[in-house]
Structure 1
Amino acid sequence: MTASCKVSICVPTCNRPELIVECLDSCLAQTHTNLEILIGDDSSDRRTQQLIESRYAHHARIRYVRNEPPLGQARNVARLFARASGDKIALMHDDDYFTDDGIANLLKPWQDHPQLEVVFADQYEVDAQGHVDAANSDELNAAFHRTSLAQGLQKQPGRTGLVQMFPNNGWIANADLVKRVGYRDDVGTCCDYVFGAELCLAASQVYYLHRYVSYYRKSDVSISRSTRGSTCAASLTAFQFVSRLTLDASLEPARRQAMRRLAPIVVSLHAKNASPLAALRVALRHPYAYAYGFDARFYYHLSLIARALIAMTWRRLPPSAARFP
């Protein structure tokens, strides 16, 4: 059954022709060959288009579209999902890439679980040059609850998305589910996390495969890194998204687990961006995120809040009061 399954690999790209070649070559090298590779190009110039035309002109499985005007990350991905004609959809960002048997391995669980809707697996972490860091790869996956003990059908599919177990790539899902969930353009750089959470919350069966199927490139040039530390940071949007979700009571522990990770980050972001009162409110509403005061991070964040409050008060003083005698 899986051999006849058509897979649509969606590749959004923007101004990275030097990296997309490795991504596309990995797609073409898949041992599962019944696939199409859809490219949505948001680049500001024609370098990527020229590369595709010169290098991949004779590859019928590659279907390239240049977005004019550019759509932005989320709308680009959403357009790719809409274009997909496969039974299943996979997403691969232009700076990341698959192992040769990545798609084949992601399809295997459907043989034993034909009602599956979503499968995801492990990611290698590689540096900007593509060198694998084995130790960091193990730590990366373990940090997001991807371990041998977790392999198999997930008892609570929704929990998988909430606690960030679901990766940004290295997954495959039924096309009808992916298209129904969609890719939101109102959550900024948090769109990958929000999509993963909503996909898992909507799915009835989600499977985790403890096997490396993709490579995640860690570099200094990315949207998430460019906004890190600002009020546009993905962590802040993720915190707001999780806070507002309407969940079944059985998923409240998963929400709490997600908040344990997110709340301290948000406290720090608010304190460092001149919003000390907002930082204090988050810290006091989520004391469990700081082990109820037994975490040194709590006192460090209190010091950040205090400094921000002093700075805010100082700025509000009239010039005459702010001068030293």
Structure 2
Amino acid sequence: MTTGIKVSICLPTYQRPELIAQCLDSCLSQTHTNIEVLIGDDSKDDRTRALIASQYAADPRVRYFRNTPSLGQARNVDSLFTHATGDKILLIHDDDFLAENAVERMLSAWRAHPQVQVAFGDQYVTDSRGTVLPAASAHLNRAYHRTRDVAGLQQQPGRTGLVQMFPNNGWMGDADLVKRIGYREQNGVACDYVFGTEICLAAKGVYYLNEYVSYNRRTEVSITTSTRTSTSASTLVAYNFLMALTLPPQLEPARRIALRRMVPIVVSIHARNHAPLESLKIALSHLSAYNYGFSRRLYFHLLIMAKALLTQRKSAF
């Protein structure tokens, strides 16, 4: 039985009172009722605080924390982990929301396999209004290796994090493990990927539920979107982390799978930020990411590098 298991739902938020209500309502309407919802508010204004005070203050399951000054993404999340009093921790961001049976369904992994320490499921993709996009949802989960044939207890838990099968939110984990791994500020906007990789590497058991348990909303305003072409882009930080990571031999194939996704993005970022030689070095070091020269993307990136070199030479005269 899992009814006695308390789940702490951690909900970091920043300047999105128009979205957090749907997220919070999805948490409070869970079919598994032994929950607490911890809100970490990094907002610059009082709109979110006022919303929580007017609509949710009477619910004893809601615990609200106003961060003054703002903590930033990683420290905000980690602070919520610290405040959590549940047996399990679930993370959901303010612009996303949960299926009404998400907690119950993920807890079923522990009933079937007591050695499980982390569980997650599929994610719906929605538009900015929260309307599900079926084709985009199917594509997202396929792209991140979430398919029916690999459902259940993962044979290589560490691989799950490396190849980004593990989602950035909507997952559940043993509270003690989640708190031990934590979010770290030095990982910047890649803190989600680093955390997901490290918790899967550390977990004794990782379970993938081939059912939709959360909704991932597409919005124009996000940290990842606003930094994706800069040298602080999450993919670049994740690439540097992955390259420095010491792995056992059996997980090297998973590293190569992850690099196939990351390398073309990293190459493009360097070329567009006036580092064409670094861009070329990375591309030539990871030709498998370009299907060993049979990808048109490689030649497009070589063109970008050439233009960047010409621009550098012109500016030097």
TM-score if structure 1 supplies the norm length?
0.97
- 1:21-170 equivalence runs, <5 A: 21-170=21-170
Establish whether residue 315 from structure 1 lines up as the match of residue 279 from structure 2: no
Shift of 1:230: 1.0
Greater C-alpha radius of gyration:
1
The one-letter amino acid of 2:45's match is: D
Shift of 1:228: 1.3
Match of 1:218 in 2: 218
SS at match of 1:2: coil
The one-letter amino acid of 1:116's match is: V
Q: Report the Cα distance in structure 2 between the residues aligned to 1:109 and 1:180, rounded to whole angstroms.
A: 21
- 1:138-287 equivalence runs, <5 A: 138-287=138-287
CA shift digits 1:251-291 (9 cap, x unpaired): 11111111111011100111011110110110011111111
The one-letter amino acid of 2:37's match is: I
The one-letter amino acid of 2:71's match is: L
Q: Report the Cα distance in structure 2 between the residues aligned to 1:243 and 1:137, rounded to whole angstroms.
A: 30
CA shift digits 1:128-183 (9 cap, x unpaired): 11110011101110000001111011111111000000001121000000001010
SS at match of 1:108: helix
Q: Report the Cα distance in structure 2 between the residues aligned to 1:250 and 1:184, rounded to whole angstroms.
A: 27
SS at match of 2:122: strand
SS at match of 2:172: strand
The one-letter amino acid of 2:78's match is: A
CA shift digits 1:4-32 (9 cap, x unpaired): 11000000001100100000000000000
Superposition misfits of 4+ residues, deviation over 4 angstroms: none
Q: Report the Cα distance in structure 2 between the residues aligned to 1:39 and 1:13, rounded to whole angstroms.
A: 7
Match of 1:301 in 2: 301
Q: Report the Cα distance in structure 1 between the residues aligned to 2:298 and 2:61, rounded to whole angstroms.
A: 53
Q: Report the Cα distance in structure 2 between the residues aligned to 1:59 and 1:134, rounded to whole angstroms.
A: 34
CA RMSD of superposed structures (Å): 0.7
Q: Report the Cα distance in structure 2 between the residues aligned to 1:140 and 1:215, rounded to whole angstroms.
A: 12
Shift of 1:184: 1.1
SS at match of 2:58: coil
* Unmatched segments (≥5 aa) in structure 1: 318-325
Q: Report the Cα distance in structure 2 between the residues aligned to 1:261 and 1:211, rounded to whole angstroms.
A: 24
Aligned residues: 317
Shift of 1:188: 1.2
The one-letter amino acid of 1:266's match is: V
The one-letter amino acid of 2:96's match is: D
Shift of 1:212: 0.3
